[in-house]
Structure 1
Amino acid sequence: MSEHSGPELIPASDACALLGISTATLYAYVSRGQLSSRPGPDARSRMYLRAEVERLARRKQAGRGAARGAAQSLDRGLPVLETRISLIRPDAPYYRGRSAVTAARSGATLEDIARLLWEGEEQDPFAASVPDVWPERIAPLALDSSLPPLERAMACLPLLALEHRQSHNAAAPVRREVAAMLLRQNAALLVGTQPDARPVHRLLADHWQPGDAGFAEVVRSALVLCADHELNVSAFAARVVASTGAHLHATVCAGLAAMSGPRHGGATARAYALLCDAEASGAPAGFIAERWRRGDEQPGFNHVLYPDGDPRGAEVLRQLRALRGDCPRMRHVETVLATTAEHSGQHPNIDGLLAAICYVYALPATHALVMFASARLTGWLAHALEQQALGTLIRPRARYSGRAPGDHD
C-alpha cells in the first residue's frame, strides 16, 4: 500500500479467515457495531478495514489462557481492576449508580458530580475560599494566552503544588478540598484567566460567549457527561501515578499528559476538522459519502463501548437542536450526521458533539478540548482518591516476547 493510499480494505473472505468465523457471523458483527463495512467493487460486495478486523481478532483471543488474556485486556478487553466510581452501560455512563444523562438533564453542575464521585456530598469541598489571583511566579505562565491550553496547565500545576502546603495531606476531607481547588484552578488555567469561585461551566461560558445563557447550559451538560468514563487512558494514567502516593497535582498532570495525545484528546480536533472540511467542499453530503467509500476514518462518530450510539453525544445533540436548530451552522452539522448515518449507520460520539458545540457557536476547535479536560479532571481525581485509599501500587507484569537469554548469533 503506498504512503498516499487510504486504510487497507479486505473482502469478506479475508475478514472471515482472520477471525475464524463464518460469513453469517461476520454480518452479525457488523449489525452489532463491532465492525464496519464499505461498498465493494460491485453492487453486492462489501469491504472491511483490515485494522478493525485485526483488532477484533486480538480481542477474541482475550480470555484464552490467563497470560494471553492479561496481555490483551489493556485494549478495552477484560477488566483489570475494580472501581466503585463509574459503570458504562448502553443507555449512559453511571456515576456511583446514577445516570450521567439524567444528571445532565436535571441541571446538575460539574461540582455536583464532583461531590458525588469524590464521596464528599456530606462535606462540601467547594465551600472553601478560592484565591482570585495567581501566585506571583505562576501568573506570567497562567495568563500567557500564546500557550496552548493543556501545555499552560501542565506547566503551572506542579508549581501550584509547591504553593499548597496540604498537597500531601492524607486526610480525606483535606484531600477533597485540594481536589476542589484543583478543579477550579485547572479550568482557569485552560482558558488563561484568573481563578474564582464560579461554577466551572460559568467560568468557561462567560469567557467564550458572555451573556448567552443557552450556551452556558450546553457547556454545563457537556461537562457533566464528560466527568468520568471508567478506565479511559487518561484516568488509568492518573490512577497509576496516584498509586505511587504522588500528590493530586501530579496525578492531574499525568491525566493531562495522556489527554494531549492525538488518539485521546486530539479526537475533538479531528471531528471539528471534518465539519470544516465538509463545509469547505461546497457539497458536504458528497464529501462525507466519498470519504466513507474510500475507507477514511469518520472522526467524531462511533464508539466501541456504545455500538448503538453514544448516549452522551445524543444528549448534547438534543440540546443543540433545541437551542440552535435553525441556524445555518447547525443545519450543516445535521447534513454531516444524516449522510454519515445513511452510508455507515454510525452515530456521533461525545468527541463529535464537543466539536459540534464549537462549530455551531463559531468557536475555535481548542475549546472542545478545554471542555473535555475541564470535565475529565473530576474523574481523574476520583480515581486518584479511590486508589490512594486502597494503598496499593499498580504494577502490572509484562509478557516478554524478545530474544531469549543466551540466544545469540
Structure 2
Amino acid sequence: MIISINQFSTGMPDFLSARDTCHLLGISRATLYAYVSRGLLESRPGPDHRSRLYLRQDVERLAQRKQAGRGEARGAAQSLDRGLPVLETRISLIRPDGPYYRGRSAIEEVRAGASLEDIARLLWDCGEDDPFTMPLSAWPDPVAAIAGNADLPPLERTMAAIPLLALQERHSFNSAPQVRHRVAGTLLRQNAALLVAQPPSPWPVHRLLAHTWRPGDEAFEDLVRAALVLCADHELNVSAFAARVVASTGAHLHATVCSGLAALSGPRHGGATARAYALIAETLQAASPRDSIAARWQRGDDLPGFRHALYPHGDPRAAELLERLRTHAPDAATLRALDAIVETTEEISGQRPNIDFMLAAICHAHRLPATPALVMFAAGRLAGWLAHALEQQAQGGLIRPRARYAGAPPATQE
C-alpha cells in the first residue's frame, strides 16, 4: 500500500532513509534496490557511511507516479517524463548500447567514419538523393550583420537569423521530398555557420567547427566529427518534441529549427553542457578533487554531466568519446585529471558520465571555453530535429494532447 505523501511532508528532511523510502513507496527493500539499479532513484551514503539515503524530491516524484492510478490517465501523465512511448517514429531507437539511426548503430557509424552529413542523409531517408550538392549563397543583407556578430551568444545569434533566412527561401512550403531535403541540407550548414559566426561554407560541418576553434588540428577535427554524429538524434527528447509539435502545424522547416534551438537554450537541456564544464573546472581547481566531489555528493548537490535516465549503466556515447579523447588528447596531465574525475565520481556516487560531460571534457582537454560544447550539441542535433519535422509533416496530423485539470472547480451558480 502506498502511503500518502502528506503524511511525510511536514518537517521532512531533504533525504530519506531506506526504511522511510520503502514505507512511502509501499515497497520492499529488494524493490528499492531494483529501483536504484534501474536508475529510477539515486542513493547516497548516510552519516555512518554504511547506510544509504534517498533524495526526497525523487522519492516524492516516484510516489506521485504510483499514486496517479492506473489506466489511460496514468499512462498519459507518465509519458511526459521519459515514460510510455507516445509517438511512432522510424528515425531512432534507444538501446542500452546506444542510439540507433534507422536501425544502424550511431557508435558503429562513428567508427566507420561517417560525417554529420552522412547521418543527416540517413535520418532524412534521402536514399540516392544528396541534398548537400547545392551551392551556398552569401548571407543576405538583413542577416549579414547578425550572422557575423561574434559578440552575440551562439543560440541567440542563430535564432535571430534563421527567421530572416526563411524569408529568402522560396520553397519553404514545397512538399516534394527532394525539395524539402535540399532546404534541410542548406539549413544544416547555415545553422552551423551561424553558431560560430562564420560565412556559409561548403565544408563538412565538423571541419567548419574544428577549423574555427583549432585550425589545422586533424585529430581534433575527427573528435568533433564523432561528437556531432553521436549528438545527431536521441529519439523524442525535449527539443525534438518541440520541433515536432511545431512541424505538426504545417510550419516551415526554419520555424521547427528555431523551436528546437529555443528548447535547447534551457539549463536542463542544452545548458547542461555549461554546468558540466563548470563542475570540471571547479573540481580541477580544488585542492583535492576527490574531496570536492564527495562534498557535493554529501550536500545533496547534483553532479552535472553524470547519469542518464535512459542509460542506467552508463551512456555509451560518452564512453565512445572518452576512448577517443584518451587516444588523441593534446595534454596528458589534463586527460589524467579528467579520468580521475570520472573514476572518483563513479566510486563515490555510482554515476557514470553522459554526453554532456564529454562535450565539456573535450573543451577542457583542448583549452576551449564552454561555448563550443553547446555548439557541438546544437549543430549535431539539428539533423535530428529536421528528421522529426520531415517525418511528422509526412505523417500529417496535429499534435495536440489534452490536459487533466487539477485546479479549483468552477464556482457553483446559485
TM-score by length of 1: 0.95
Residue 130 of structure 1: how far off its partner (Å):
1.2
Select which of 390, 394, 401 maps to 2:399.
394
SS of 2:278 mapped into structure 1: helix
Choose from 326, 340, 356 the match for 1:321: 326
Query: Residues 120 and 284 (structure 1 numbering): CA distance in 2 closer, same or farther, change over 3 Å?
Result: same
Match in the other structure for 1:8: 14
Taking the aligned partners of 1:334 and 1:285, their CA distance within structure 2 comes to 12
CA separation in 2, counterparts of 1:148 and 1:242?
A: 26
**Among candidates 244, 247, 267, match of residue 242 of structure 1:** 247
Q: Which of 50, 55, 58 pairs up with 1:49?
A: 55
Aligned equivalent of 1:182, options 173, 182, 187 = 187
Q: Measured at CA, do residues 17 and 120 of structure 1 come closer, stay the same or move farther in structure 2, by a change above 3 Å? A: same
What is the CA-CA distance between 1:282 and the residue it aligns to? 2.2
1:198-236 deviation per Cα after TM superposition (whole angstroms, max 9, x unaligned): 000000000100000000011000000000000000000
Q: Answer whether contact 2:37 2:312 (CA < 8 A) is retained.
A: no
Aligned residues: percent identity? 67
2:340 is aligned to: 335
List per-residue Cα deviations over 1:299-344 (Å, max 9, x = no partner). Answer: 0000000011000000000100111186211111111111101111
Structure 1's consecutive aligned runs of 4 or more residues displaced over 6 angstroms after TM superposition are none
The answer to whether the aligner puts 1:372 opposite 2:368 as a matched pair is no
Q: Count the aligned residue pairs.
A: 402
C-alpha distance in 2 between matches for 1:316 and 1:121: 29
Distance 2:69 2:230 in 1: 31
For residues 79-98 of structure 1, the aligned pairs below 5 Å read 79-98=85-104
Task: Give a deviation string over 1:134-180, Cα, whole Å, max 9, x none.
Answer: 11121000000110000000000000000111111111100000000
Q: How does 1:295-314 map to 2 (within 5 A)?
A: 295-314=300-319
Cα-to-partner distance string for 1:246-294 (whole Å, 9 max, x where unaligned): 0000000000000000110010000000010011212112111111122
Cα distance per residue 1:323-375 (max 9 Å; x no partner): 11862111111111111011111110001000000011010101100000000
SS in 2 for 1:127: coil
**Structure 1 counterpart of 2:247, one-letter code:** A
CA contact (8 A) 1:92 1:99 kept: yes
Q: Which amino acid aligns with 1:319?
A: R
The answer to whether the 8 Å contact 1:58/1:72 transfers is: no
Determine the structure 2 residue equivalent to 1:4: none
Paired with 2:34 and 2:242, the residues of 1 have a C-alpha distance of: 34
Residue 198 of structure 2 corresponds to 193
Amino acid at match of 1:207: T
2:38 maps to 32
Gaps of 5+ in 1: 1-6
One of 363, 381, 390 as aligned partner of 1:385:
390
Q: Shift in Å at residue 408 of structure 1?
A: 8.3
TM-score normalised by length of structure 2? 0.94
Pairwise CA distance, 1:405: 2.0
Q: Higher mean Cα deviation, 367-376 or 61-70?
A: 61-70
Distance 1:282 1:361 in 2: 22
Aligned alpha-carbon RMSD (Å): 1.5
Q: For structure 2, which runs of at least 5 residues remain unmatched after alignment?
A: 1-12
SS at match of 1:121: coil
Amino acid at match of 2:185: A
- Secondary structure in 2 matching 1:160: helix
Equivalence for 1:64: 70
- Where 1:80 maps in the other structure, the secondary structure is coil
Amino acid aligned to 1:360: A
Relative to 1, partners in 2 of residues 1:32 and 1:72: Cα closer, same or farther, differing over 3 Å?
closer
Give distance in 2, aligned partners of 1:192 and 1:129. Answer: 19
Residue 9 of structure 1: how far off its partner (Å):
1.3
**CA-CA distance at 1:61 after TM superposition:** 5.6
Write the letter of the residue equivalent to 1:24.
A
Q: In 2, Cα distance between the equivalents of 1:95 and 1:62?
A: 34
